[in-house]
Structure 1
Amino acid sequence: MFRHVKSNLLLFLLFFSGRIVHAQSRAVSLAEALQFAQQNQLTVHNKQYNVQVNEARLRQEKAARYPEISGAFDMRYNQQLPTVILPGEFRNLPAQNIPVVFGTKYAATAALEGNYAVFDPERKYNTGKAKLQENISRNELLVAQTDLALEVRKAYYACLLNHKKIKLTLGNLGRSETFLRNTQTLFQNGQVQPVDVDRAQFDVQSQQAELQKATLNLNQNLLSLKYQMGFPLDSAIVLTDTLLLSGERQAVFLPDELKVEARPEYRNLQLQQEQENLLLTRNRHNALPTLRLYGYYGSQAFREKFNFTNTTEKWYPVSYFGAELNWLLFQGFLRRAQVQESKIALKIRHNELLIFERDYVFQTYSKLLAMQTEQQNVHVREANVQLAEKILNVTRIRFENSLVQSQEVTDAANDLLEAQTSYLNALYDFILARLEYERIQGK
C-alpha cells in the first residue's frame, strides 16, 4: 500500500512541477526557437560583424579611386641662416670660394598638393578583392545561420522525443500499477504466489526508474536546446510544437529539383574560383605601367620680422604640375611564375566545383532513400508497439484468470518496452534523415 501511495505521489509531483514550470516559463515553438537563436547566438553575431568589417574595407578601397588632396602650412624661424658657397669667378676671384649667407629670419609656406592615380592595376585588384571578401563574409554568415538552424532543430526534436518517452513511460507505469493492484488482490484470495506479486512490483519499480531516466534526459536536452538558442540557461522554456504531424509520417517524399546553387558551401567554392580568376588577372596586369598625375600650388613669404599678417608684404607663388609613368620592365621571370601558379590554382577550384556537384547529386538521392527507409521503419515500429500493447493486455487478463504464469506477463511487458524504444529510435532516425535531406537541399 505504501509503495502504491509513493508511486502516485511521484506522478503527482511530476505533473504539479510541470504545471508550475509551465506557468513560469517561456512557451517556444520551433519557429520561435530558430528566430531567437538567429537573433541571440553570439557566433552568428560575430559573422554579422565580419560582414560589417568587410563592407568598411570595401569602402576604403573604393575611396582610393578619388584624388588625394592635402593642405599644408609651414612656419619657420631661422636661428642661423644657411651659407652658400659661390665660385670666385662671380667677383673675378678665380680659384677662390665665396661664402654667402642667404635667407631671412622668418619664412612661411602655404600650399595645396594633389595626387591622382590615373591607371594602377593594383588598385583595381584591391577593390575586386575587397568586394569578393565582402561576399565571402556574407556567405559565411549564411553558412553559420544554416548550421545553427540545423543544431536547433535537432535539439528541439530531441526534447520532443523525450516528452514522448515520458508519455509512454507514464502509460506503462499506470498499467503496471493497475496490474500490481490486481495481483495483490489475487494473492489475498490465494490465487497467485508471492513471487507473482514481486514480479509485478519489480515491473512498477522498473517503470519508475525509466520515468526518472527519461525526465533527466529531457532536462539535459532542454539545457542543450537553450545553449544552441543562446537562451539564458537558468531560465525555463516549454515546447509548444508536436513531435511529428501525422501528415509528415504519411507524406510521400519525392526528389526535389536539383539546385546545387542553393547550397552556401557551393557558393563558397564559386567565390574562391572568382578569387583565383582575379589573382590571375592581377598577375598578368603586373606587366603594365602605372600613371600618376600630381600638382602643387603654394605661396611663400620671407620676413625679417614676424609680421606675416601684414598684407602689404608680398607672398611669392610656387606651383608645378606633372605626370609620372612607372614601368617595371624585368623581375627575373617572377610574373610568369605567378601566372602559372594562378592557372594551376584555377584548375583546382574548377575540379572542386565538379566534385561538389557530383557529391550533391549522390547525397540528395542517398538521403532521400534513407528518409524513405526510415519512414517505413517508423510505420513498422509503431505497429509493433500497438501489437505489443495488445499482447500485454491479453496476457495480463489471462494471468488474472490463472491461464498463464506471471513470467509471461513480465516477458510481454519487456517486449512492449523494447518495442517502444525501437519506435522512438526509428522516429529519431527519421527526423535526422529528414533534417539532413533538407540541409543537402539548402533549406
Structure 2
Amino acid sequence: MKSWNPSTALRAIMLVTAAMAILQPVQAQQDTARSYQFSLEECIQYALANQPKVQNARLSREASRERIRESTGKLLPHANITGSFTDNLKLQTSVIPDFANDPNNKIPVQFGTKYASAVTGQVNQTILNSDYFLGLKAAKVYDELSVRDLERTAIDTRVQVSNAYFNVLVSRESIRLVDANIVRLQKTLKDTRARYDEGVSERIDVDRMQVSFNNAETQRANLERLQQYSLDVLKFNMGMPLQSTLELEEDVKSFAGIRQMPDSQQYNIQDRPEYHMQRVQVELNRLDLKSKRLGIVPTLSAFINYGVNWFSPQFSDLYKIGYGNSAMGLTLNFPIFTGTERIHQVAQSRITLKQSENDLTNLSQQIQLEVRDAYTNYQNNATSLLTQEKNMALTQGVYDRVVLKFDQGVSSSLDVVSADNELKQAQSDYINALLDTLISKVKLDQAMGKIKVQ
C-alpha cells in the first residue's frame, strides 16, 4: 500500500481547479451559442423580445407608469415626524423693569433652560392645487407618448431585421448563381483541355477558360464571407449572440408576392406612430399652457399635528416630564401679484403650442411625400427587377450558344469569355435589383403605416 503524499494531493487539487477554471468560460460560451432555424417572422419575434433597443423602450414604458403613480401619490396625505435637541450653552439675557423696587431700574434676567427637546408629527393633505391635477393628466398623456415610442421602436426593429434578412437571402441567391457558373465553366474548361490535348484548340484558349474559372471561384469565396457577415448583421439586429448558429428557413422565392403593386392611396397617416407622437406633444403643450394660466388659482391644504416638548436644566432630568401640544388648520396660498412673470410664461407656452401644431401639419405633408417617394422607388425597382430577369435569361441564352459554337470550333475562346462577362454582369444587375425591390417594398409598407407591432 502506497503512503499518502501531501504534495501529490495538492498537485491534484490544483489540476482540478485549473481544469474547472478553463472549462467554466467554455461552458458559459456553450450556453449562449445555441442553434436556431427561423423564418422571417420568427426572426422578428425574437428581435422584439431580445433587441436591447426594444427592451429599453419597454423600460421607458414602465418608467412612465411609475410617473403616473408618482403623480397620484402627490394627492395622498403626507406625514412626517421632526425631532430636535438643543443645548443652550449660554442662555440669552434680557433686561426688564425692577417691579419689586424701582420700575425705572432695569435688571438683567435669563429665560429658558439649558436643555430642550421636541418631537412633532404632522399630516398634510392637499385639497386644492391645480398643478397636481394637471400633472396627473400630463403623466397619463406622457404614458401614451411612451406607448407610441415603443411602437415606433418595434416597427424600426421589424424594418431592420427584414432588410438584414433579405440581405442574407440575396447573398445566398448570388452564391447559387455563381455555383451554376462554376459548373458551366468547369465543363467548358475540361472540354477545352481535351481539345487542346487533341491538338484542336490552342493553349491561349485553355488559359482564358482557366482565368474565368479562377475568377468564379474567387467570387464565390468572397460571397461566402459576405454572406457570413450579412448573417452576423442579422443576428446583431435581432439581439442574438453572434456565436449562435442561425439557419434561415426561406429563400427569395418565398417572397415572390412582394412584386404585387399596392394601392398607394389606401393608407392613413394616423397609422404612423410618429403622427401620434406629435399629437401627444401638442396635447402636452396644451396642458402646459393651461398650467401657466391657472397659476393664479390659490392652493389649499389641511394639516394636523401633535408634539411633545421637554425642558430641564439638567440633561439627566430632560425626558422625565413632557408637555404635549397639538394643532390643526388650513393653509391657503393666494398669489395675488407676481410681477409680469406669469404673463410672459403664458405667452411663451402659447407660442410653443402653436409651433407644435404647425409641426403636426408639416408632419402630415411629410408623411404623404414619403409615401409618394417610397412608392416611386418601389415601382422603379420592381420594373428594373423584371427587366434584369429578362436580360439575365437573354445573356444566358447568348452564353449557351457561344459555348456551343466554341465546341464546334466556330467561335473563339475570347467570345466565350466575353459572353461569360456579360452573363456575370447581368446576374449582378439582377441581384442588385432584387435586393433593391425587397428593401423598397419594406420602406413603402413603413411609409404607409402598414407595418404593425404584432
TM range (shorter): 0.7 to 0.9
Q: Does 1:334 align with 2:344?
A: no
Stretches of structure 1 that go unaligned for 5 or more consecutive residues are: 1-22
- CA deviation after TM superposition for structure 1 residue 237, in Å: 1.9
1:292 corresponds in structure 2 to 301
Q: Report what 2:75 is aligned to.
A: 65
CA contact (8 A) 1:258 1:361 kept: no
Amino acid at match of 1:417: K
Name the SS for the 1:118 alignment partner.
Answer: strand
CA distance in 2: counterparts of 1:149 and 1:249, whole angstroms: 16
Q: Deviations over 1:156-213 (max 9, x none)?
A: 1111111000010000000000111111222223322222222211211121111112
1:387 aligns with 2:394: yes
**Contact 1:29 1:239 (C-alpha < 8 Å) held by counterparts:** yes
Where structure 2 has 5 or more consecutive residues not aligned to the other structure, the ranges are 1-32
Q: CA deviation at 1:347?
A: 1.4
- Matched ranges for 1:102-251 at <5 A: 109=118, 111-245=120-254, 247-251=256-260
Distance in 2 between residues matched to 1:103 and 1:335, nearest whole Å:
46
Amino acid paired to 2:190:
R
Deviations 1:83-106 (A, max 9, x none): 7755434x4641234556666787
CA 1:375–1:354 in 2, change beyond 3 Å: closer, same or farther? same
* 423-432 or 103-112, larger mean C-alpha shift: 103-112
Note if contact 2:258-2:438 (Cα within 8 Å) is conserved in structure 1.
Answer: no
Residues 1:253 and 2:262 are matched in the alignment = yes
Q: Secondary structure, in 3 states, of the residue corresponding to 2:200? A: coil
Q: Which residue of 1 aligns with 2:39?
A: 29
Letter in 2 for 1:161: V
The range that moved more, 25-34 or 125-134, is 125-134
Match of 1:271 in 2: 280
Q: TM-score, normalised by structure 2?
A: 0.83
Q: Give the residue type in structure 2 aligned to 1:61.
A: S
Letter in 1 for 2:231: L
Cα distance between partner residues in 2 of 1:24 and 1:51:
30
Taking the aligned partners of 1:390 and 1:257, their CA distance within structure 2 comes to 42
The alpha carbon displacement at 1:393 in A equals: 1.2
- Alpha-carbon deviation of 1:76? 7.1
Give the structure 2 partner of residue 20 of structure 1.
Answer: none
Deviations 1:95-121 (A, max 9, x none): 234556666787665543122222122
Distance 2:279 2:185 in 1: 61
Mapped to 2, the partners of 1:131 and 1:318 lie a distance apart of 42
Rounded to whole Å, the distance in 2 between the matches of 1:336 and 1:76 is 46
Alpha-carbon distance in 2 for matches of 1:155, 1:265: 23
Q: 1:346 aligns with which of 349, 353, 367?
A: 353
* Residue type of the alignment partner of 1:290: T
Structure 1: distance between partners of 2:101 and 2:270: 88
> Aligned partners of 2:98 and 2:318: how far apart in 1?
36
Q: Name the TM-score, length of structure 1 as normaliser.
A: 0.84
- The more displaced of 394-403 and 121-130 is 121-130
Does 1:425 find its partner at 2:435?
no
Taking the aligned partners of 2:356 and 2:339, their CA distance within structure 1 comes to: 28
CA distance in 1, matches of 2:258, 2:287: 49
> CA RMSD, aligned part only?
2.8
SS at match of 1:115: strand
- Taking the TM superposition and a 5 Å limit, the aligned residue runs for 1:311-330 are 316-330=323-337
Which deviations, in whole Å up to 9, do the C-alpha atoms of 1:11-34 show, x marking residues without a partner? Answer: xxxxxxxxxxxx984323222222
Q: Distance in 1 between matches of 2:138 and 2:191?
A: 79
Amino acid at match of 1:268: M
- Return closer, same or farther for 1:147/1:252 CA change in 2, 3 Å cut-off: closer
